[in-house]
Structure 1
Amino acid sequence: MKTSSTRRRLGLRVTALTSVAVAAIALTGCSGAASSGPTTITFSYLWGGEEAKALEKVIADFNKSQSEIKVVGVSSPDAQKQLTSMSSSNGSFDISDNFGNTVGSWASKGILAPLDEYLKADKVDLGDFAPASMEQMKFDGKTYALPIAVHTQQLMYNKDLLAAAGVEPPTTMDELATAIQKLTVTDASGAITQIGLGNPSTSTLLTTLGYAFGGTWDGKDGKTPSPTDAKNIEALDWYTSTLTDKFGADKIASFTSGLGQYMSAQDPFYTGKEAMVIDGEWQAVNIPKVAPNLNWGVIDIPAASEELAGTTQVSTSTLFIPSNSKHKAEAAKFLAYIVGDKPMTDFTLALGNLPSKTSLLTDSAYSSIPNFDSWLKVLAGENAKALASQPYSAEYATDLGTAFDDVVRGVATPEAAMKSVADKAKSYDAG
């Protein structure tokens, strides 16, 4: 009797548990239907401050525009943390940003998701992006990122200093060299008190000059380091003969060591210590805020020959989807949205950057920014150049930077410095 009774109780218990299980399954199904709201994706971005506020506005607009996807923005300026997450089996975000020169290296390591199928499905017109900006977005024939904003370089000049020296804005390399001589001022001891051409970034300045002389830094195929290209050497020789040899590397170094912080009220271009600089479009937004009384202008970078007119260097701010994202399709839909006309315009205006789409280059939204059109117009030109984004690019940039510093400091000739980079490039990882 005890055994039979026990079995009956167990039978009743199993029946009860089965009923609970069935009910639970039914409730789960109902719960799934009831909570089948938007898929949440995480957008971890490197921007902060005012830039982050502008990006959060774009995110909010996207979330309001549809009900299938909810984007949660996270400001995380730690690039190493970003890379660590992308390299793990379980990533912490679905979409993020960086610069175009990282695309080739990251794509070759398999940590970026190829985007072509998603972009086709979401009807993103890749042909509308400035060609130079897209050069950094591809690796092995596939698209791995899109540019949300781009940057070009132009020659900025202090109108008052040029007028006082009787100098017209230069349009050729010879005119630029002459202007630099006239605009570089020394005191009785020979110390420089004003320099004709400033140097906000040595690597950007000298690679841009290489392009302006018709050189290439990544070979004719765009995939091979070519630091010893004859036109690159010509550009560096021009720089050394115009500045380093003429005024002395030690005196230039002494002068620059006492200059104020870049883009602050003490920026040497703002305070008249530098008569001219080759710099990016962000200055057009910063100058009215920080140095509103500065009388300045901007012109195309002088080129070594007529066919090189309008030469500039392009760099990019990119958006990408990591391979370990669990919501690639949803992240791609948001990516397609943010590179749409209005979001891109709103975001680039907030940052003081250029839109990457050629259809927006003449948009009236940018017309209120002083001199901004100068940077805009060269972006779509055939002489807009971008450094390659290949597996070797980061290492190459480091080696070029070291070699350029040696040239500027007068401790190595352009020929010797670039040969040292070419020798190192033989051991680069080809991916």
Structure 2
Amino acid sequence: MKIAQLGMPLVLMAALTACSGDAAESDGKTTITFSYLWSGPEGEAIEKLIAGFNGSQDKIVVKGVSSPDTQKQLASMSSANGTFDISDHFGNTVGSWAAKGILAPLDDLLEQQGVDTAAFAPAAMDQMRHKGRTYALPIAVHTFQLVYNKKLLDAAGVEPPTTMDELAAAIPKLTETDGKGAITRLGLGNADLPTSLTTLGYAFGGAWDGTGPTPGDPGNLAALKFWQDNITNKYGADKVSAFKAGWGQYMSAQDPFYTGRVAMVIDGEWQAVSIPKNAPGLEWGVSPIPVARPDLDGTTQLTASTLFIPANSKHRQEAAAFMKYLVSESAARELSLALGNLPARTGLADDPAYAKIPNFGSWLKAMKSPKVRSLSSAPYAAEYAADLASAFDSVVRATATPEEAMAKVAGRAAGYAKG
């Protein structure tokens, strides 16, 4: 599953519809519905796993349904009779949905199934819990690193930057403009602005959440000021906007990083699969996110793709058995390799199967870093993310200073439902 822009590639925001989750029982078997957001080759990988589970035992039949409609998903989960028994989404929704009572708590079910939550990336599990209870499991995780065009850096005499000072020095060396000052190549772009800036906030030692939203953390403000000073104000907000308007579709052959219009970008591990497929001639590399201080080395952001059971499922035990199968080592390995995602199980990080994917090891190493961070999955998370995205946009368009933009978010955050 791709995170998207936060995306980045984009995260396929979706959800689930469909068939009856009022599982039919016949021939001693219980039928449950797995409504998933994947489609295309990703959906085919999911169906292969479903077939494997169905063939592995004789008590449960899983019916897979692909549907990308989040509103239908929420409508089903909020009704007396839901249409599915297990589904998937993203870590930042867990707290909000748990607070609304539409997710089934999993602790007892996981204990009965013998699932050890300590096997999963700790930063991902932080997002799976609400008020001390577990409401989801990570099926895959995603980290963000600095992806760079080797030829462009070599031509400019630039080494992959490891510090924020080095990154600031590299951007102008890699940026080009024409005779009228229009940007023709940008040293540092972003596949997804909110993800890029929240990641940079962590790299400056910031924190977006504590006991509640902390948008005005000094490290966060330093990250936003870095972006304004080195990109927006340096080249002009209007010119940056005009340049971005001509970007090709993300992860297509016209992606601005693939075509050399952007020299460096903060992005996720799915690029290790996408670049060889969509830009086979591109010479590229990956390095850790540059940091503001040596003690921050290894800092990055982690996001998670999740599995959950809706509270209105009438077959929680069967859904939990299928969930156990999906997060098992063999199934998790197969799915992550098919999707080009990181395995949520930390024990798989050193599996030799991942060594065949170009540069994948950099993202795997980041997953194991003690400095990996994740945004809170509190009940206010979705509202907070939307407010941050709006504020970030005002910063990059130079219509607000970082202090003004984050003060506005803080004002709005005072009214968030804490759940």
In which range does the TM-score fall when normalised by the shorter chain? over 0.9
Among residues 69, 77, 97, which one is paired with 1:86 in the alignment? 77
Who is 1:69 aligned against? 60
Among residues 340, 352, 367, which one is paired with 2:340 in the alignment? 352
Report the AA paired with residue 120 of structure 1.
E
Identity of aligned residues (%): 64
Q: Within 1, Cα distance between the matches of 2:39 and 2:259?
A: 28
Who is 1:238 aligned against? 226
Map residues 177-196 of structure 1 onto 2, 5 A cutoff: 177-196=168-187
Deviations 1:90-145 (A, max 9, x none): 00110000111110000000000000011111111111111111111000000000
- The 4+ residue runs of structure 1 with deviation greater than 3 A are none
Q: CA deviation at 1:393?
A: 0.6
Higher helix share: 1
Among residues 93, 100, 109, which one is paired with 2:100 in the alignment? 109
Report the AA paired with residue 176 of structure 1.
L
Report the AA paired with residue 131 of structure 2.
D
1:292 counterpart = 2:283:
no
What SS does the aligned partner of 2:265 have? strand
Among residues 271, 293, 302, which one is paired with 2:290 in the alignment? 302
Q: Within 2, Cα distance between the matches of 1:51 and 1:82?
A: 19
Q: Within 2, Cα distance between the matches of 1:169 and 1:258?
A: 26
Report the AA paired with residue 249 of structure 2.
Q
Who is 1:59 aligned against? 50
Q: Within 1, Cα distance between the matches of 2:368 and 2:80?
A: 40
Q: CA deviation at 1:297?
A: 0.3
Report the AA paired with residue 306 of structure 1.
P
1:199 counterpart = 2:190:
yes
**Preserved CA contact (<8 Å) 1:149 1:317:** yes
Deviations 1:317-355 (A, max 9, x none): 100000000000110011011100010111111111000
Q: CA deviation at 1:200?
A: 1.1
Report the AA paired with residue 74 of structure 1.
V
Report the AA paired with residue 305 of structure 1.
R
Map residues 414-425 of structure 1 onto 2, 5 A cutoff: 414-425=402-413
Q: Within 2, Cα distance between the matches of 1:353 and 1:68?
A: 31
Deviations 1:395-423 (A, max 9, x none): 11111000000000010000000000000
Q: Within 2, Cα distance between the matches of 1:381 and 1:162?
A: 26
Q: Within 2, Cα distance between the matches of 1:176 and 1:147?
A: 33
Deviations 1:29-75 (A, max 9, x none): xxxxx955211111111111111110011011111111111111111
1:269 counterpart = 2:257:
yes
Who is 1:151 aligned against? 142
Who is 1:165 aligned against? 156
Q: Within 1, Cα distance between the matches of 2:67 and 2:384?
A: 27
Structure with the greater alpha carbon radius of gyration: 1
Who is 1:317 aligned against? 305
Deviations 1:147-166 (A, max 9, x none): 00111100000000001101
Map residues 357-376 of structure 1 onto 2, 5 A cutoff: 357-376=345-364
What SS does the aligned partner of 2:139 have? strand
Q: Within 2, Cα distance between the matches of 1:76 and 1:263?
A: 22
Report the AA paired with residue 378 of structure 2.
Q
Q: Within 1, Cα distance between the matches of 2:380 and 2:190?
A: 26
Report the AA paired with residue 319 of structure 1.
L
Report the AA paired with residue 68 of structure 1.
K
Report the AA paired with residue 205 of structure 1.
S
Q: Within 2, Cα distance between the matches of 1:238 and 1:53?
A: 42
Q: Within 2, Cα distance between the matches of 1:196 and 1:76?
A: 38
Report the AA paired with residue 336 of structure 1.
K
Q: Within 2, Cα distance between the matches of 1:113 and 1:402?
A: 32
Q: Within 2, Cα distance between the matches of 1:400 and 1:347?
A: 32
Report the AA paired with residue 324 of structure 1.
N
Q: Within 1, Cα distance between the matches of 2:242 and 2:384?
A: 28
5+ long unaligned stretches in structure 1: 1-33
Among residues 226, 237, 252, which one is paired with 1:249 in the alignment? 237
Q: Within 2, Cα distance between the matches of 1:109 and 1:271?
A: 45
Report the AA paired with residue 200 of structure 1.
A
Who is 1:400 aligned against? 388
Q: CA deviation at 1:381?
A: 1.1
Report the AA paired with residue 297 of structure 1.
G
Q: Within 1, Cα distance between the matches of 2:26 and 2:331?
A: 29
Who is 1:210 aligned against? 201
Q: Within 2, Cα distance between the matches of 1:130 and 1:118?
A: 20
Q: Within 1, Cα distance between the matches of 2:304 and 2:346?
A: 14
Q: Within 2, Cα distance between the matches of 1:193 and 1:42?
A: 50
Q: Within 2, Cα distance between the matches of 1:92 and 1:260?
A: 38
Q: CA deviation at 1:295?
A: 0.4
What SS does the aligned partner of 2:307 have? strand
**Preserved CA contact (<8 Å) 1:131 1:380:** no
What SS does the aligned partner of 2:190 have? coil
Among residues 380, 383, 387, which one is paired with 2:371 in the alignment? 383
Q: Within 2, Cα distance between the matches of 1:141 and 1:177?
A: 41
Who is 2:6 aligned against? none
Q: Within 1, Cα distance between the matches of 2:197 and 2:67?
A: 32
1:430 counterpart = 2:418:
yes
1:126 counterpart = 2:114:
no
Q: Within 2, Cα distance between the matches of 1:163 and 1:335?
A: 47
What SS does the aligned partner of 1:97 have? strand
